[in-house]
Structure 1
Amino acid sequence: MTERPTPSPDTIRAFLAETPKLRARDAAGKLGIAEAQLVAAQIGHGATRIAAHPDRIIPAAEQLGEVMALTRVGDCVHEKTGEYGNYHPGQHAAMTLTEQIDLRIFPSHWVHAYAVETESEQGLRRSLQIFDAAGDAVHKIHLREASRHAAWAQVVADLAEADQSEGQTVEPRKPTEAPKSRPDKADALRDEWTKLTDTHQFLRLCSKLRMNRLGAYRIAGEPFVRQLDPTAADAMLHAVRDAGIEVMIFVGNRGCIQIHNGPVHTLRPMGPWQNVMDPGFNLHLRLDTVAEVWAVEKPTQRGPAISVEAFDAEGGLIFQTFGLGKEGRDSRPAWGKLVAALPSLAAVPA
């Protein structure tokens, strides 16, 4: 089977001109290219290649005032409006933490980046867009009406790379790691699980036992995990809204995890999508791609950490939700009761 040839930048721009309402990710899919290649075809035509490292991008974003931060994994999009700040660099992991924008960043996956200006029916749109080695979007920063647009030109000039040739070479996409269990290590998993004192220790435990997250969930059993009906993903959002509690919703890819800390007020379903449409926070979740949902309990020094976690058919993590436990705003007891009431997966007849 021969590979589909990559269309020329001229061909890509012509296609975009003919389909102005098509989202970039969908346009790239129709052309059989990575989204970074779609954007790079527009260098000199509204796009500028810029430094991709978060140590350059995040301080630049801080100069733009109120913006919208977007992180996506598959068919789940997490959007937060606010200002970047409180950046903590790190060789392997970095962090930016404000009341509105809370990110965990993995710099090795910030490989390609562009400053993009696009004309739309709503006017000129500006964004900083970061991609991994395969050309998949890692994180995007969209300017809004209230942003400091006067700072845009200097930000782009400061970040611009010397190479402004159109086009982009990308690496093959790495597949999602399939669920990996070790049934012979189930007793060891449960024993070590009871000794956890922090949720971050769990992945190290999985690595030590040569499993991964979903593989461990599939063999741990109660009281550590309970498999929920896939409809629990939507039921959880409704229950959080109705209970008026605050939660932490994590959505992340290999290069960036974005976190919402707070309530969920407005749900607007549209076709297969469930949409949280709140001031400062939007979440777009395609429910029919949710294959497995698990209620998980891990011990910590602050008490049990209870989460609801959704996975796609390939075993990729879509989202995690925890009860918010900030001092004076402790929703964890109410969250625990909410999770306990979510529907379990019906037993499959033999």
Structure 2
Amino acid sequence: MMDPDLIRAARAEHPKLRERDLAAQLGISEAELVAAHVGHGVRRIAADPDRLVPALAALGEVMALTRNDSAVHEKVGRYDNYQGGNHAAMVLADDIDLRIFPQHWVHGFAVARDTEDGPRHSLQVFDGAGDAVHKVYLRAESDAAAYQALVDALATEDPARTVATAPRPAPEGARGDAARLDALRGEWARMTDTHQFMRLTAKLKFNRLGAYRMVGAPFATQLDPTAVDRALAAVAAAGIGIMVFVGNRGCIQIHSGPIATLRPMGPWQNVMDPRFNLHLRLDHIAEVWRVAKPTRRGDAISVEAFDAEGRHILQIFGQRGEKTDMAELAVWNDIAAALPDRAEVPA
């Protein structure tokens, strides 16, 4: 365990380096980096989503951030309509749309970070390995008094500047059972809702990537790794709404709506819209799949990316909901259908 004073000294030496990058450089978790600053702009707070998330509604408009190693999803909006649950919880607001897995909300902090524009206030939650699960950043229009009241109410007053972390679980990779392939295809064809997918794969001892690799057409088709970037460009040009899912073990965050501004920078492709930003490491994408899941209203078509170790990076769907625009959904389906298969693009 690294000395907290040394961690703070390293932070002072690299004030513009992102926390995740500095933590990796130091060989520690991001939670350890944040905890080293307890008493220096950082307070520990309860990480229990049943206590924390409903209280966020009082803050007004904020920026919600959820990420994994390869994608960062940032959405401006208000927290509302929290629905708790021991295994899974949800936020179903107009802009902030989350699926929460409470067992991974382990370490919580309120953070004040000095910037050129003054202190930047955030609430940050980490899992048992010390990896970021979800963050909430105040904006100029956020209610600062409500934020302070929230922090005071949830503060644990634990002065410890270290955190105990467990080893990260190894990437699972693709998992499947060839003896159950016919059952997988049969049950897949009988799906009536996309939410049935995880239950049926778990029952048959497949995971997501294992199912995609084995089930075959018409349910899953491997695409060229460039397909995600091509899809984003086509969606922006068409001006249609989509749904972009980015998640980690503890949280999945969803954008629903159009995207407009793409700004590539080095290995990153960036969506830079006023209320939604996506930062995607294109060089991390090793596999892309076009997936068709049957529903009562027709197939839900997704484009999904995985890294070289089989970790899920993101999903893109056509925008669906109570006010689904079927014409826009048809455009998305055409875009997805036109993306090149793995074999169609020369190496």
The normalised TM-score by structure 1 is: 0.96
> In the TM superposition, what are the counterparts of 1:42-57 in structure 2 within 5 Å?
42-57=37-52
Q: Which residue of 70, 75, 84 corresponds with 1:89?
A: 84
Q: Does 1:333 align with 2:330?
A: yes
| Deviation of the 1:339 alpha carbon | 0.6
Aligned residue type for 1:254: R
| Separation in 2, partners of 1:99, 1:155 | 22
User: What are the superposed Cα offsets for residues 259-303 of structure 1, whole Å, 9 maximum, x if unpaired?
Assistant: 000001000000010000011000000000000000000111121
Q: Does 1:175 align with 2:162?
A: no
| Separation in 2, partners of 1:203, 1:166 | 39
| Separation in 2, partners of 1:96, 1:127 | 18
| Deviation of the 1:347 alpha carbon | 6.7
| Separation in 1, partners of 2:305, 2:118 | 37
> In the TM superposition, what are the counterparts of 1:137-216 in structure 2 within 5 Å?
137-216=132-211
In structure 2, do the counterparts of structure 1 residues 348 and 61 end up closer, same or farther at CA, with 3 Å as the change threshold? closer
| Deviation of the 1:151 alpha carbon | 2.1
> In the TM superposition, what are the counterparts of 1:1-350 in structure 2 within 5 Å?
6-326=1-321, 327=323, 329-330=325-326, 331-346=328-343
**Where does structure 1 differ by over 4 angstroms across 4 or more consecutive aligned residues?**
none
User: What are the superposed Cα offsets for residues 283-342 of structure 1, whole Å, 9 maximum, x if unpaired?
Assistant: 000000000000000111121111101001110111111111232533321111111101
| Separation in 1, partners of 2:247, 2:15 | 28
Whether the 8 Å CA contact 2:222–2:287 is kept in 1: the answer is: yes
For structure 1, which runs of at least 5 residues remain unmatched after alignment?
1-5
SS at match of 1:63: helix
| Separation in 1, partners of 2:5, 2:148 | 26
Whether the 8 Å CA contact 2:223–2:290 is kept in 1: the answer is: yes
For structure 2, which runs of at least 5 residues remain unmatched after alignment?
none
| Separation in 1, partners of 2:238, 2:160 | 53
SS at match of 2:342: coil
SS at match of 2:34: helix
| Separation in 2, partners of 1:219, 1:75 | 25
Aligned residue type for 2:59: L
| Separation in 2, partners of 1:325, 1:125 | 35
| Separation in 1, partners of 2:41, 2:320 | 44
Identical aligned residues as a percent: 60
| Separation in 2, partners of 1:13, 1:139 | 22
User: What are the superposed Cα offsets for residues 58-110 of structure 1, whole Å, 9 maximum, x if unpaired?
Assistant: 12221211110000011200000011111111111111111110001111110
| Separation in 1, partners of 2:345, 2:115 | 50
| Separation in 2, partners of 1:226, 1:328 | 25
